[in-house]
């Protein structure tokens, strides 16, 4: 058992196929299956969420004030690598920054950068300053591929950064944040 006293945040690289919950009534794998037993036993809770089909950086803490601070809109930006089915145009990327209405809710990105593509897919980097339920998936679901007129669909979604903190462990692995990393994150 490693010494985790004094640590206030834990970073996990969540793989696809794990539910972000303490226990699942459907018997699916949870993120706690990847963490040391003390994280569950001592009440470490996820800071925000990543859905079953999303992967990447997920933080855990026992401190409710830290969790509230990091999940407040505008507190710290989150960066995602996104693959969509479709050919996103620069005009559509700008539209995502302006905001898209979905079910009477305005969904916006801080930045959308087209990174390239392969065949009928486009690779993007999307930056958010808040995270609404299925935010990125819903935004892209409102767009149509200009080439074929079909709805765009998120194929892969990976959170790569929260504020100054970058994803730096392999899929399924975790580590404790250093005091310096915690301070930089909370001051961002």
Q: Which helix (H) or strand (E) holds 136?
A: helix 135-141
Three-class secondary structure of residue 112 per DSSP: strand
Give 3-43 as a 3 state SS string.
CCCCCCCEEEEECCCCECCCCCCCCCCEHHHCCCHHHHHCC
CA dihedral sign of residues 46, 48, 53, 56: negative
Q: Are 80 and 50 in contact (CB under 8 A)?
A: no
Catalytic status, residue 41:
no
The active-site residue out of 24, 51, 102, 129 is: 51
List the beta strands (DSSP E) in 119-170. 121-128, 153-162, 165-166
Q: Among all residues, which ones are annotated catalytic?
A: 51
């Amino acid at each position: 058992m490693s010494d985790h006293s004094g640590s206030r945040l834990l970073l996990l690289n969540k793989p696809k196929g794990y539910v972000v919950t303490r226990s699942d009534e459907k018997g699916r794998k949870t993120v706690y299956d990847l963490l040391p037993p003390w994280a569950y036993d001592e009440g470490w809770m996820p800071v925000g969420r990543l859905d079953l089909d999303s992967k990447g950086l997920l933080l855990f803490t026992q401190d409710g004030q830290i969790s509230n601070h990091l999940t407040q809109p505008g507190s710290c930006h989150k960066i995602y690598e996104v693959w969509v089915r479709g050919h996103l145009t620069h005009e559509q990327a700008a539209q995502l920054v302006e905001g898209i209405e979905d079910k009477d809710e305005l969904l916006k990105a801080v930045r959308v950068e087209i990174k390239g593509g392969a065949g009928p897919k486009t690779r993007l980097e999307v930056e958010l300053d808040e995270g609404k339920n299925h935010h990125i998936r819903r935004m892209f679901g409102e767009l149509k591929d200009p080439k074929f007129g079909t709805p765009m669909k998120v194929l892969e979604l990976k959170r790569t950064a929260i504020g100054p903190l970058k994803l730096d462990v392999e899929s399924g692995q975790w580590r404790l944040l250093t005091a310096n990393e915690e301070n930089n994150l909370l001051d961002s």
